């Protein structure tokens, strides 16, 4: 059963990665499998890649399953909220996320260095992007994205 879940989760992540690359605007591009370059107003939802998932499963599979279920729930609610507000959503499992304005680097996130698994980063296309709490991000959205 556990192996079936891992297989399904890996396939889901792989399918989402491919479909999201097709849906990105020309201003947000995947530089390589480890770096995402973002230039336009959007919300970036990040998640662990398959390597990180395997590490988590070896350490504490029950904890990973609980965390992934919780994250999936909050990401689903966040996605619905963002779609209602017509904000571009980029989903990635890249290690690095680089945000640019006028071809100048504003902020660079290394998700491995910060030991991050699931989360959201709001970028209004002007100011330095900010991470938000996945459990309740409407206030952060209003502060950051409504500028």
pLDDT of 96 over the 80 cut: yes
DSSP assignment string, 67-121 = HHHHHHHHHHHHHHHHHHTT--EEEE--SEEEEEETTEEEEEEETTTTT--SEEE
Work out the average pLDDT over 7-26.
41
Which burial class, exposed, middle or buried, applies to 38 when counting CB atoms under 10 A from its CB (0-12, 13-18, 19+)?
buried
Give the pLDDT band of residue 31 (cuts 50, 70, 90): low
All structural domains of the chain with their residue ranges: 2-145
Bridge-partner residues for 122, per DSSP? Answer: 43, 130
* pTM assigned to the model: 0.77
Q: What is the mean pLDDT of the chain?
A: 81
Task: Render pLDDT for 33-80 as a digit per residue (tens, 0 to 9).
Answer: 688 999 999 999 999 988 889 988 999 888 889 989 999 999 999 999
């Amino acid at each position: 059963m556990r192996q079936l879940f891992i297989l399904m989760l890996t396939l889901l992540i792989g399918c989402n990665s491919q479909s999201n690359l097709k849906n990105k605007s020309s201003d947000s591009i995947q530089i390589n499998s480890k770096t995402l370059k973002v230039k336009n107003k959007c919300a970036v939802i990040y998640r662990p890649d398959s390597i990180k998932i395997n590490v988590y499963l070896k350490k504490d599979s029950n904890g990973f399953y609980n965390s992934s279920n919780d994250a999936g729930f909050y990401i689903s609610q966040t996605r619905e909220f963002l779609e209602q507000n017509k904000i571009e959503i980029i989903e990635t499992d890249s290690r690095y996320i680089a945000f640019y304005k006028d071809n100048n680097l504003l902020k660079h996130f290394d998700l491995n260095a910060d030991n991050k698994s699931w989360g959201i980063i709001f970028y209004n296309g002007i100011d330095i992007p900010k991470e938000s709490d996945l459990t309740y991000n409407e206030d952060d959205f209003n502060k950051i994205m409504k500028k």
